[in-house]
Amino acid sequence: MKGNPAKQDGWMSEAGAKLIFENEVAVCEISNEKYKIENGCNVMKL
């Protein structure tokens, strides 16, 4: 979150790395866990 009023600026993994999604899938650069985003707002760990 950033700004006033606050706006979401992205997603973070459980390990604290910023997730970069490509084709609705992201891989944490710290833990190598995979995440999937659905409908642009729901993120699930795979």
Per-residue pLDDT tens for 1-46? 888 999 888 999 999 999 999 999 999 999 999 999 998 889 999 9
Question: Is residue 29, in this structure, part of any structural domain at all?
Answer: yes
Residue 4, domain member (yes or no): no
Whether 3 is in a domain gets the answer no
Q: What's the number of domains the chain is made of?
A: 1
Tell me the pTM: 0.81
Looking at residue 8, its pLDDT comes to 86
What is residue 22's predicted lDDT score, i.e. its pLDDT? 95
- 5 is a domain residue: no
Closest CA to 43 of 17, 10, 16, 9: 10
- Structural domain includes residue 1: no
37 lies in a domain? yes
- Residue 41 has a pLDDT of 86
Q: Evaluate whether residue 24 is within a structural domain.
A: yes
The DSSP result for the chain, as a single string, is -BTTTTB---EE-TTSPEE--BTTEEE-TTT--EEEEETTTEEEE-
Domain membership of residue 23 as a residue range:
11-45
